[in-house]
Structure 1
């Protein structure tokens, strides 16, 4: 119920400017925020605010939305102007929402957010969504619809508990949950994975070097062909004279070459005789090749809920382990970030919660000297006291003696959602500062990072792709593009785009001077 009203709702979400709160951010040793952002506000509106600058630029998205179990409380408060949805607005959905529309409400909350998240992904980007049995099937349905089922990369099963459940009221105890993974473009991702060791995870398996092979640790697999594999039959004689007549994976010449290269291993049987030959493969080779991830992530490689709770308690000892309910472990996010990013990727978490994603990005950068940046969005009142505070403490270091965590030379900017840029009648909101409009226009024109150049000229936005952009606008006043204004502009010669309220120069003269006039607000692009 309500789907037809929310399929395109993301287009109607108002664009709100982001207002920086300097005193809540952290700068690194160079006075930089390292491009990291923490945003307090509704994630639907925050995503819309990020869209002009970050559309198509995010390599990894992880979200941990409310699971709709009936136990947690989440608020559906999107401004969809339709009677069938208006009755839900502002309602807290929990056990009192146990009716046939409960899943509809959750889907109406998720659909426009996933629409915008897809737009944020780079062509080779990946999104990971945590969920459990309550909405897993529904979530996969809308993701298949929004991303296209062909871009489904897999459903990861993460064992979130390290112990056996003990609930006599249930037949099957919950120890694992799901992480759905989709790509923006399966083909683009495939090409990237061919050209780089991308989308791979750390090599697993038992490697050792019992024969002191100079090529290092190795493992082995049978040289004997399994049923259905095909192969070549011939006799192999082990060094101790034991003979084997089987069908082997390669021909005799291939075997002899491997044997000469010390890549054939004869294990010892219990009776002391040589066992069937096995082919050696080296850990160094597997590291170069990388391994794709399996869809089963046990807690010894991806952490558990208890790991996450203990880790958060060490960051916030004053909360006595109750800083945040059900946080995700850093180990889980490290595994996701490690297989889906390069060293300069942007990582986005639109349901930031306790800030695990931020800590994981900092940890990954520390491990490989990377320059990844994060964007965390949290609408809860704890965005400053928990989400951002966790990242502050990780940056500054916390704990004592053996449990101390060292300082990280990084930073972030903290933002609140500001007013809408446009009013209902399409005019500019006078409450929006000039900097907010400047950033928006620059992003919609160029998709390039914004740099404040008002020291050079108060109207200068910047130069991009051999064109210069100006915003001749003052809140509450009317600006006119005239010859006296043109004469004072510092950068000319290249094609020049000037936004102003009106123009007093004839169109043919503008063409002669290679100037493009764009009227405010009519010709400002709408996202």
Structure 2
């Protein structure tokens, strides 16, 4: 580092001493793969991959094929809460947890496309440490947002402060190249557009025609009376001025762009037509339970799929993943989840027409994730977002296991 420059970083015991992932290969288990279209396609040629094994060697093995190919990475790693979940050992020593997350962030970054993004889902136990790690690996300039998801809405009355949210850290591979998608307007947002004056241009909503300004000179120039259709004049409120000089205001009146109320006696408001606004809404960082679901909703989704199985402790609802994937990817893009858990990312990606890679080291990769994806493919999963997106089934995947590099692998034409 040049003299006179300083560096801010998070230090922990063992940082930088992590061993390289062991040389590994990905071996297909044909009897656990599913060919598309009832067996018409060779599953080895399908882009969807379900990988059973540790994600570090799996990611290292995937680099040759997937470097610069992934549009969206979603990670829901163990939260390091000290609670022993049935499906995860969630309670690693703090230093070890930091080392594992740092190493995986470094493995994932090269896989992202220049216009790709990383979404890391955590609670308050580690999210602030993870932010510093990702600032180091991805660069602070590539930080996009901290999304707050309302995972529960029932208050815990015995808590000092009732925790109700998780945080999702969003980073771009390259901030300048990343382009997010707009979210579709829901019915309540569309209802805000009306047409009380039967304007032939269609439905509209009004916004204030006055703006606040600390510039006294500008306020003086832009403050002037506007004639009301019903008679009299309107002035902007104190401390505000009109959003245009008299010539612009006159042009807006002539074009019927200013709304003076049903009787023509109110201060003007600017008409914004539905046909002229963007094709959706800009995502914000507050995601309430109503459009995104909750942990309880996700548990109900899992119980519907596996009524006799012990539910995951903190599964994520399909509506939450739908929102992430709609913002961060387009149909046909590749989505990767290195902590697949219950398989929600793959299920939602499949239903939305995205390609996917899921990695899971737990035995529930076989007992839960694979059966879930088979139900999605067979059209037998009518829960989650299936109805809203019109999902009827289709597709396939390859089931792979992480194995030592010395494991003999039959030549499949793809180098593994």
Name the TM-score, length of structure 1 as normaliser.
0.68
| In the alignment, structure 1 residue 387 sits paired with structure 2 residue 369 | yes
Q: Retained in 1: the 8 A contact 2:34–2:397?
A: yes
Superposed, which structure 2 residues align to 1:85-104 within 5 Å?
94=91, 102-104=93-95
1:301 aligns with one of 265, 273, 291: 291
Aligned to 1:504: none
| Separation in structure 2 between the aligned mates of residue 400 and residue 139 of structure 1, nearest angstrom | 36
> What are the Cα deviations for residues 163-187 of structure 1, in whole angstroms up to 9, with x where unaligned?
2x2231x211110110000011112
Q: Retained in 1: the 8 A contact 2:380–2:393?
A: no
Task: For residue 436 of structure 1, report the CA deviation from its aligned partner.
Answer: 7.2
CA distance change for structure 1 residues 23 and 286 in 2, over 3 Å: closer, same or farther? farther
1:15 aligns with one of 14, 23, 47: 23
Task: For residue 337 of structure 1, report the CA deviation from its aligned partner.
Answer: 0.7
Aligned to 1:413: 398
> What are the Cα deviations for residues 100-155 of structure 1, in whole angstroms up to 9, with x where unaligned?
xx211210121111111111111111000000110011101110110011111110
Aligned to 2:355: 373
Task: For residue 297 of structure 1, report the CA deviation from its aligned partner.
Answer: 0.7
Superposed, which structure 2 residues align to 1:118-133 within 5 Å?
118-133=109-124
Between 216-225 and 204-213, the greater mean CA deviation after superposition: 204-213
Aligned to 2:233: 243
CA distance change for structure 1 residues 16 and 391 in 2, over 3 Å: closer, same or farther? same
Superposed, which structure 2 residues align to 1:104-143 within 5 Å?
104-143=95-134
Moved over 4 A (4+): 73-76, 403-406
Superposed, which structure 2 residues align to 1:62-73 within 5 Å?
62-73=74-85
Q: Retained in 1: the 8 A contact 2:152–2:289?
A: yes
CA distance change for structure 1 residues 67 and 408 in 2, over 3 Å: closer, same or farther? same
Aligned to 1:257: 251
| In the alignment, structure 1 residue 334 sits paired with structure 2 residue 322 | yes
| Separation in structure 2 between the aligned mates of residue 364 and residue 400 of structure 1, nearest angstrom | 14
Q: Which runs of 5+ in 2 are unaligned?
A: 1-12
2:177 aligns with one of 184, 188, 194: 188
Task: For residue 315 of structure 1, report the CA deviation from its aligned partner.
Answer: 2.1
| Separation in structure 2 between the aligned mates of residue 51 and residue 233 of structure 1, nearest angstrom | 62
| Separation in structure 2 between the aligned mates of residue 211 and residue 309 of structure 1, nearest angstrom | 48
Query: Secondary structure of the residue that 1:225 maps to in structure 2?
Result: strand
Structure number with higher relative contact order (C-alpha < 8 Å, ≥ 6 residues apart): 2
Task: For residue 212 of structure 1, report the CA deviation from its aligned partner.
Answer: 3.3
The structure with the largest alpha-carbon Rg is: 1
| Separation in structure 2 between the aligned mates of residue 349 and residue 201 of structure 1, nearest angstrom | 22
| Separation in structure 2 between the aligned mates of residue 399 and residue 223 of structure 1, nearest angstrom | 50
| Separation in structure 2 between the aligned mates of residue 318 and residue 382 of structure 1, nearest angstrom | 14
Aligned to 1:472: none
CA distance change for structure 1 residues 313 and 439 in 2, over 3 Å: closer, same or farther? same
Task: For residue 213 of structure 1, report the CA deviation from its aligned partner.
Answer: 3.1
Superposed, which structure 2 residues align to 1:198-209 within 5 Å?
198-203=180-185, 205=189, 206-209=192-195
Q: Retained in 2: the 8 A contact 1:17–1:436?
A: no
Q: Retained in 2: the 8 A contact 1:351–1:376?
A: yes
Q: Retained in 2: the 8 A contact 1:314–1:399?
A: no
> What are the Cα deviations for residues 21-56 of structure 1, in whole angstroms up to 9, with x where unaligned?
222222222526541111111011111111110011
Aligned to 2:163: 174
Aligned to 2:34: 26
Aligned to 2:69: 57
CA distance change for structure 1 residues 127 and 325 in 2, over 3 Å: closer, same or farther? same
Matched residues, number: 384
| Separation in structure 2 between the aligned mates of residue 22 and residue 207 of structure 1, nearest angstrom | 54
CA distance change for structure 1 residues 4 and 276 in 2, over 3 Å: closer, same or farther? same
2:203 aligns with one of 206, 217, 227: 217
| Separation in structure 2 between the aligned mates of residue 307 and residue 438 of structure 1, nearest angstrom | 40
> What are the Cα deviations for residues 418-466 of structure 1, in whole angstroms up to 9, with x where unaligned?
221xxxxxxxx3x4235279616xxxxxxxxxxxxxxxxxxxxxxxxxx
Q: Which runs of 5+ in 1 are unaligned?
A: 77-91, 366-371, 421-428, 441-527
CA distance change for structure 1 residues 215 and 394 in 2, over 3 Å: closer, same or farther? farther
Q: Retained in 2: the 8 A contact 1:66–1:72?
A: no
Q: Retained in 2: the 8 A contact 1:353–1:378?
A: yes
Task: For residue 276 of structure 1, report the CA deviation from its aligned partner.
Answer: 1.6
CA distance change for structure 1 residues 266 and 273 in 2, over 3 Å: closer, same or farther? closer
Query: Secondary structure of the residue that 1:212 maps to in structure 2?
Result: coil
Aligned to 2:409: 433
CA distance change for structure 1 residues 161 and 217 in 2, over 3 Å: closer, same or farther? farther
Query: Secondary structure of the residue that 1:19 maps to in structure 2?
Result: strand
